[in-house]
Amino acid sequence: MQESEFSFELDGTDLPFEPGQSIMEAATQAGVYIPHLCHHPDLRRNGSCKLCTVKVNGRFGSACALPAQAGCTVESNTSELQEMRRQIVQMLFVEGNHYCPFCEKSGNCQLQVVAYHVGMVDMHFPPFNTARQLDASHREMLLDRDRCIQCARCVRASQDLDKKNIFGLAGRGMNIRLVVNSDSGLLGDTDFSSADHAAQVCPTGALIRKDQAYPCPIGSRLYDTPISQHTIRQDARHD
């Protein structure tokens, strides 16, 4: 089979792909960054955050969920899509507690670095001033729902990798929230562990270890160096 039969066009460049790969996977393999938050290479496809929205043959779709198809034309790095992504990130910031200078995850937060990448300079929208439940009941981990962006990474990791089903999402629309599957609803009443995959995949400061606040000095954090496609891709593979 010819190589051209396993390639598609992304922003004017031909990209090869392997059968079964998503557009996101093929782009990442080729060294092209498409902004994302809910996607994680170790987890099943979700497509909920919509940051990776691209245009495929003129139609919108999620790059993390859409399979790569030979001969298709994909647009990602356009002013229209960057503006859409910027508005999504702005809405994520105003609906929770994402004041980066005060967050233990600052410098290592994927939401923060995506905001820089899409050129966000302010929140634009008025903040919601939410006060979601803070769960400090667990011996090792802190769950701050005001920093949760409902990406469902911890849900998928707990179900598929840890086989524990610790987390879930409840509610709809503006009322959606992260819940803990215990009789009390508290993380401390589960068998959750800081060694679980679910404890490692949060892109924000919603799930952090209690004994590792501010573990890296400024200058040594993941995104203290100039933000580049390389560092973001490394984060997507290993966070």
Pinpoint the residues of the chain covered by CATH 3.30.70.20: 83-238
Assign domain 83-238 to a CATH class. Answer: alpha beta
Q: What is the pLDDT of residue 104?
A: 85
Q: Is the dihedral of CA 89, 95, 96, 100 positive or negative?
A: positive
Pinpoint the residues of the chain covered by CATH 3.10.20.740: 3-77
98-107: per-residue pLDDT in tens? 888 888 888 7
Domain at 3-77: CATH code = 3.10.20.740
161-216: per-residue pLDDT in tens? 999 999 999 988 778 899 999 999 999 999 999 999 999 999 999 999 988 777 77
Sequence-separated (6 or more) residues with CB below 8 Å from residue 100: 106, 109, 112
| Regions of the chain with pLDDT less than 50 | 1-3, 228-231, 233, 235-236, 238-239
Give the burial class of 86: count Cβ atoms within 10 A of its Cβ; 0-12 exposed, 13-18 middle, 19 or more buried: buried
